[in-house]
Structure 1
Amino acid sequence: MGIEGGSGLRWGGVRHEFEQSKTAAPTSGHISLDLFLSAHGVTLHVNGDQVYRSVNKTVQWGNHNKRYHAGLHLAALHQTTGQVLTAAAFTTWQVTGDTAFIHALHHIQDGRLIIILGVPDFTTHLGVNATAALMMLGAQYAQTLAYRDIWCLAVHKGSRVVAETVITYLPGQRTPLTDLDVSPLILHLAVPSVPEPWCSWYGRADLQERSKFCRRYDGYGDFCRCGQLPWSPPPPLPSRLKQEVIPVALVTGGRLPQVLRQVNQLRSGSVGATTPLTIFVDGDSDEAAALANLLQVNVTFNTKNPAPRGADSRITCHIKFVLTNVFRLYPGTDKAIILEDDLELSPDFLSYFHQTAKLLTSDPRLLCVNAYNYNAYPHTAVDPTRLYRVNGLPAYGWMVQRKVAQEMLDNWPRLDQEADWDLWIRARVLKGREILIPEVPRTKHVGGGGVHVTGLEQAVHHGRRSLNNLPNVTLDISGAEFGRYLKTHLSNIRSGHVVRLSDHPCKVLPLPTTQVNQSFVVYLYQPDETNNSSWAYYVVARCLGLNDHNYHENLKMMFTSSFYGNQLYVIGCPTSPFCLTSDERDVYRASKEDVQFADNHPFRRIVIKRHVALRVPATSVSELVSLENLVDYTISQTMALTIGPHPIPAGPNKEVLLSSARHQIRRYGEQGCLSTRHPTPPLELFGDNMQQTG
């Protein structure tokens, strides 16, 4: 296995210092824990050594600063030695953040000493499932945690609670230590060491390396499960097929359990078992080296990434390292597949690339082949055999030829330019070429709640995009050949039904939602891809449930996809060569009022219901001790990503929501359930921390 030195891990897109090797073994039969939590972050010391730190991880988000050290921090320690086996942070102040937390908690082995640290405001999107998971661990305060509380739980998973502590927040009672009105929590624990259980399969000769790995690291679920024979991905096989060798570069910043899952998905088919795999790690990691050894894959460490941790340019530098080295590692190959670790794969992922490889070789108009389609939603992604040509960008699993990769590297952004590599490639390298994409994606983004993909973006867009689930799909390669592709789509546009938007498309859907075997054409005034020239595409895309977040998937300002089984064309006039109308009445122009209405009435939205608790002065000692001095109410909010000129949450605006919540409190007060001592809910609970603008 090829291994190079290095340092550091990254968790969820944000740097959290996590040191596995410094923990000293306990000398007194106890594990000594020192924890510090405040509104500014957390630190964890085990047996006198700092093993975890996340402090002041504040980044700019639109017009606001967001604290990425806020949320839930989860660390799993070895129950005998106190060694850190895994650690991660979850931004539970974002939508979907608690889902990732539940997933990580489930994949930790029983018996481990688990430390969960809640930094305000970690309760914002801590849903009922996450609360139930905490209660299953034995947390007594899970249902009585409130806005801006600080909380800590130490527990042996599947056994007993070691300690649970909460520092409560009261509105108006400021402290000299923080501007967030809550005092820090300083806690020292001496936890008795517990013998590690001996799994029945630890003694098997063929699983000795696995047992060492699973006693050293955690978070791998059934790969290390003690109560049963552990699951294993299929082993690699020597190539016996007469097919092109296309290696896969697995790109990771430290999410190794997800890399394990991808290796299993890749090797599940006949093509994958013979495909060369290399894990490219940003930094150095003994864990990655050990996992690669178990999986019999190559691993290469990027130990000289010039960009600092947490910088936007960090991933750009790492992708450059991957593109440079994947072709050095496999000098006899012409193509490589670049695969990020936050993706779920379709069963025909590798077959898709092998089928499109010949077209990529023969067609100089193609920059690369993508496994992803930004415009693939359940009503727009129907036919898994269909391919599109777009002036897009490399994204979420893509195949590139050696000569094109070198062209990209020759034009790569400098470190001081701080550019997103994919957007840079589109702007500087694409040069009129196209990217081949599927109608139904072969990858799906998972996770969210990080810096680059927010929780709301994951919920509204990525989480709703389709993923092919068929194992054997024969692609329509001939239909994607340039000449035939143009002929087909020009014919469809000429013969298609031109849709005139006499009513606002968010008020009256202008297209059928059943298959009628006809093409539909929407012409709109959109000279280019900027909203400075027109908001027409944004309005139409938002009302028809297309990708309204960006303009990636177009061919010279012609967007096409299925729409409930019929072919839809949205064409920007007057500059697109696909704009075939000369009648101005066919061309939709968006007014400012149209944009505002589309902001508030999109096709695709999510309804977020949150239980919100606010701490209030206690009326008795028993109420104070039981932490029942709460105001409880539910916020229901219809949300969608908004990039219009006046972005506000979809549906009722914040003032209406606030008025509704106040009315609920007053109404309950009249019934004797609540009283006038209850505070007004902070405005930030009504959308500021949930909305992304662009």
Structure 2
Amino acid sequence: MAHRSGRSGPKIIRSARRFINRKFGSVKQFLAIVFCVCVIIYCIHLILSESNRQIWDVRGDLNLSDSRCGVKCEPNQVAFYIRTGEGNKLGPTICLEGEVLISPELKNYGRGLNIVSVNDKTLEVTNIKTFDTYLEDTGLIRFLKKTVPQDHIVLIASFDESSGNLKEDGKQWLKLYGSGLADNVQFRDGLLMIGQKGLHEGNAVEFLSKRENGQDFANVVEKAGCFSVPMGSKRSLQVMLPKIIRGSNLMMGQVVPNCGVQESCGPRMFPVSVFTGHGNEKQPEICVSGKIVMSETVNDAGRGFNVVVVDHKTGRATMLTRVDTYTYDSTDLEIFLESLADGNIVIAVVADDGAKKLSYMAQELLNKLGSGLIQNLRFRDVWYFVGQKGIQGFTKMEMISYAGFEGEWPKALKAAFCVPTKIIGQAIVPDPDVIRNDARRNFCKKYDGYFEYCDPSHVDEFPKTVRVIDQAFSEHPIFSVPIVVVPGLNHNALVRSLETTLMQPGIQPNLVCVLWDEKFPEHGELAFLYGFSNFSLPSSTKYSEQMVKALRKIEDLHPDSEYVIVLEEELLLAPDFLHFMAQFLDVLNSDSSLLGVSAWNYNSYEVLAGNRHAVYRVEEFPGLGFLLSLKYLKSVLASSLDKCCNTRSWHGWDLGDQMKAEILIPDISRVFRQRYQGTDGDEDLIQQLFHKPRATNLEPSVKLEGLNNLTAELYEEYLNLALANSVSFPTSDLRQCLQYNKAFKPELPNESRHVFVVYYEQENPEDYELLRKLCHCFGLFSVKNHKPKNLHNGLLRFFYHGLNVFLVGSATEYYQHKPSLVTGLKKNLISPI
């Protein structure tokens, strides 16, 4: 028995070998397979341990009161839950390790990017911030660059809109936290991100929800999961920051006796010389107390701001830096200047270009050091400056050399002088040509989002009126007509409206009044900067309500005026807007059936190549920029203003319903309404009115034609005479358009002195089906379920590539002029548009 038992081991081995040979071919092949499986298992484990993160979509409610944000993680992992904002109504949520840090309930979120920064070692929350990157990203850059320490973690959730002014530098800093999607963030997209300072690009936890066509906002992104720290391989960001050299580390260059100053400096003074360099070939140079402290070979002088700080007691350089504000934002320059101690003397030289990314804040800091010229710095201008922390007023030691209009390199500046240890400032800027608009600066400091108006290159400009060239015209009554501006929500559009209003030759700023919603006092302050008066109106939820309130206010403001000009929101005025209005006062005075003039034409499209000299009478009031008889306006105020004008004016106010009165309009508009950004509920209408390419007159002082024929009786005489002597418009191509919806490109007659008429059949005066299709063929306003625009007793006239064209229906009184041999177009030609 013992012998048999001793042989059982080898027997088992032989059986196993036979099994392996039968199943795997040989023992060697089996061992090879086992080895490969082990390698695969090890690699999978390595990959999982390398990323060491698990993220999943959240389905349903999550118990955020749980100790780990409602998720279960390994002991060495960090638990999180993040939800981006829902539209502009419900704020985002960020939960870390069971603690809700940002949420709608806490009300500590805002538009843009909401960020929590966390210590990577202790997981202690160090900051909770919101940065409105719809308006600007300088705060975000400053935070990511300077506030958050190396290796710390950030958790980010977007809300509302975050891309408007998330520019190149802001996106670059998100990438330096591991983002791989920052460049893809667009208008109202949703962004969720967990990154770590220094993390290589693409290694962050991040998800981007894109706004699809037809959506107001992107869908919510809601994620929970676990991640480990560190989040991946990292890099030091010190190379991204400018080098600040201090004390004994300052390299000293060659000795230059007295820095080139001809005479020895007196007590409590020291010599300085500066050279701005030439173009991008010769680098700048700074000499302090007889030694070069910055040059091409000494302490890395070059493009942007070259700054040396001098101890006012010893006259020796103690600190210096260079910030390339052509390539990078000026946050580093701001922080450097903020770190100065009282009495520090600052020597700065701008070379090559330093204006491109120079912020308003950096300019303000330099102003406080004694600069009176820095706000005038433009592309490729060079500049030198010597100031002091604590100076009162402006330094004398400052100069700018301006680049040419086409960006030609400016003349280099070179100067040597003695600098006192206490610089006495002057109350006014030494250079009398320097312009500094402190009122505008204060406005820009107070209100965000005025990107053009508050751009550093414009912020010191003053509004200027334009004089009338024709002195005889300067006495015209139009210049005593009050102008009322009714702003909307777009404040940058209001700036453009006020600027084009002020640019009207002969304008009287004291007669311009901005009537603003009481919720937006900045509109009143902006009006003041342009020299316009302003009054607040009770707040409204709709712009049409605000317009009615403004029209009622006009009676109180101008009880003795005969006419008033009203400018609605987001308008740009043509150069001849006032001159255009001036030409109608005599006509309006002589015809009570005319209520006023609108400067906007529904049918003023580029495709028509219209006639800037032509004017028409129409039944519908298009509003936008208009002149009205105050006498009539007061009568409407007493009866039906709320009824006639309770919609946006472009729907066509029916101001003449009681009196059968009409409005005068130009063939080519004298105002341009900027693209409509709201939701009107009728996309086809908005597309036709504001998104289809429009024609607006750009020539000054255009003389209008046919003004003597605009009174009611004479206008009818003109129309009937024109029709009696008219020519039929070529209809072969027109029939192709009507019947087969083919592109309409007719061969037009060379003769343009006649009126060309298209006669068409109607079932009744309200039958516009065929007329609407004719409008579509000619490129006029044509929207389903909307009446064609610019009708006068059923007749529609316009100017088409040099031809005066009338569209005349069989239900109008003008159809009697149709020649017997001419057949009116019939409705059976119509095909679907």
Structure 1 SS opposite 2:704? coil
Establish whether residue 212 from structure 1 lines up as the match of residue 442 from structure 2.
Answer: yes
Establish whether residue 541 from structure 1 lines up as the match of residue 755 from structure 2.
Answer: no
Question: Which residue matches 1:504?
Answer: 736
Establish whether residue 376 from structure 1 lines up as the match of residue 376 from structure 2.
Answer: no
1:408 deviates by 2.5
Q: 1:430 to 1:576 in 2, by over 3 A?
A: farther
Q: 1:316 to 1:336 in 2, by over 3 A?
A: same
Q: 1:324 to 1:316 in 2, by over 3 A?
A: same
Question: Which residue matches 1:324?
Answer: 552
Establish whether residue 471 from structure 1 lines up as the match of residue 708 from structure 2.
Answer: no
- Unaligned 5+ runs, structure 2: 1-81, 93-101, 115-126, 145-155, 195-200, 211-216, 225-330, 339-360, 365-373, 377-392, 394-427, 430-435
Of residues 620, 634, 652, the one that matches 1:406 is: 634
Residues 281 and 300, structure 1, Cα contact 8 Å, conserved in 2: yes
Establish whether residue 243 from structure 1 lines up as the match of residue 477 from structure 2.
Answer: yes
Establish whether residue 198 from structure 1 lines up as the match of residue 363 from structure 2.
Answer: yes
Question: Which residue matches 1:7?
Answer: none
Residues 344 and 443, structure 1, Cα contact 8 Å, conserved in 2: yes
1:350 deviates by 1.2
1:210 deviates by 1.9
Q: After the TM superposition, which residues 165-204 of structure 1 pair with which residues of structure 2 at under 5 Å, given as runs?
A: 166-168=206-208, 182-184=220-222, 196-199=361-364, 200-201=374-375
The one-letter amino acid paired with 1:504 is Q
Structure 1 SS opposite 2:486? strand
The one-letter amino acid paired with 1:219 is G
Question: Which residue matches 2:620?
Answer: 392
Note the alpha carbon deviations across 1:64-101, whole angstroms, 9 max, x for none: xxxxxxxxx799xxxx998998968xxxxxxxxxxxxx
Provide the rounded CA distance (Å) in 2 between the counterparts of 1:290 and 1:298: 10
Of residues 183, 186, 191, the one that matches 1:151 is: 191
- Unaligned 5+ runs, structure 1: 1-33, 54-72, 89-104, 155-160, 171-178, 600-694
Question: Which residue matches 2:803?
Answer: 566
Provide the rounded CA distance (Å) in 1 between the counterparts of 2:507 and 2:533: 15
Residues 280 and 301, structure 1, Cα contact 8 Å, conserved in 2: yes
Structure 1 SS opposite 2:507? helix
The one-letter amino acid paired with 1:317 is E
The one-letter amino acid paired with 1:141 is L
Question: Which residue matches 1:336?
Answer: 564
Question: Which residue matches 2:589?
Answer: 361
1:251 deviates by 0.8
Note the alpha carbon deviations across 1:497-554, whole angstroms, 9 max, x for none: 2247563324374843464314221112245675xx3510111111111111342201
Provide the rounded CA distance (Å) in 1 between the counterparts of 2:574 and 2:204: 42
Of residues 660, 667, 670, the one that matches 1:442 is: 670
Q: 1:436 to 1:149 in 2, by over 3 A?
A: closer
Residues 168 and 182, structure 1, Cα contact 8 Å, conserved in 2: no
Q: 1:87 to 1:334 in 2, by over 3 A?
A: farther
Q: 1:208 to 1:560 in 2, by over 3 A?
A: same
1:425 deviates by 3.7
The one-letter amino acid paired with 2:667 is E
Q: 1:268 to 1:555 in 2, by over 3 A?
A: same
Q: 1:373 to 1:138 in 2, by over 3 A?
A: farther
Residues 283 and 302, structure 1, Cα contact 8 Å, conserved in 2: yes
Residues 84 and 220, structure 2, Cα contact 8 Å, conserved in 1: no
Provide the rounded CA distance (Å) in 2 between the counterparts of 1:332 and 1:86: 48
Provide the rounded CA distance (Å) in 2 between the counterparts of 1:459 and 1:130: 29
1:272 deviates by 1.8
Residues 645 and 653, structure 2, Cα contact 8 Å, conserved in 1: no
1:285 deviates by 2.0
Provide the rounded CA distance (Å) in 2 between the counterparts of 1:367 and 1:473: 23
**Larger RCO of the pair (alpha carbons < 8 Å, separation 6+):** 1
Provide the rounded CA distance (Å) in 2 between the counterparts of 1:522 and 1:138: 62
Question: Which residue matches 1:494?
Answer: 724
Q: 1:236 to 1:452 in 2, by over 3 A?
A: farther
1:462 deviates by 2.6
Structure 2 SS opposite 1:586? coil
The one-letter amino acid paired with 1:213 is F
Residues 391 and 553, structure 1, Cα contact 8 Å, conserved in 2: yes
Question: Which residue matches 1:525?
Answer: 761
Of residues 506, 523, 530, the one that matches 1:295 is: 530
Two-structure CA RMSD over aligned residues (Å): 5.0
1:586 deviates by 2.1
Note the alpha carbon deviations across 1:336-385, whole angstroms, 9 max, x for none: 11111211210011111122122122211112200011111224353212
Residues 84 and 190, structure 2, Cα contact 8 Å, conserved in 1: no
Provide the rounded CA distance (Å) in 2 between the counterparts of 1:342 and 1:137: 35
Provide the rounded CA distance (Å) in 2 between the counterparts of 1:112 and 1:483: 70
Q: So what's the TM-score if we normalise by structure 1?
A: 0.59
Note the alpha carbon deviations across 1:18-53, whole angstroms, 9 max, x for none: xxxxxxxxxxxxxxxx99413674538899766857
Q: After the TM superposition, which residues 295-314 of structure 1 pair with which residues of structure 2 at under 5 Å, given as runs?
A: 295-303=530-538, 305=540, 309=541, 314=542
Q: So what's the TM-score if we normalise by structure 2?
A: 0.50
Note the alpha carbon deviations across 1:470-520, whole angstroms, 9 max, x for none: 011122222434344333332222222224756332437484346431422
Provide the rounded CA distance (Å) in 1 between the counterparts of 2:748 and 2:451: 42
Question: Which residue matches 2:402?
Answer: none
Question: Which residue matches 1:642?
Answer: none
Note the alpha carbon deviations across 1:309-342, whole angstroms, 9 max, x for none: 2xxxx22321121111123212331111111121
Provide the rounded CA distance (Å) in 1 between the counterparts of 2:193 and 2:717: 64
1:567 deviates by 0.9
The one-letter amino acid paired with 1:151 is L
Greater Rg, structure 1 or structure 2?
A: 2
Residues 496 and 519, structure 1, Cα contact 8 Å, conserved in 2: yes
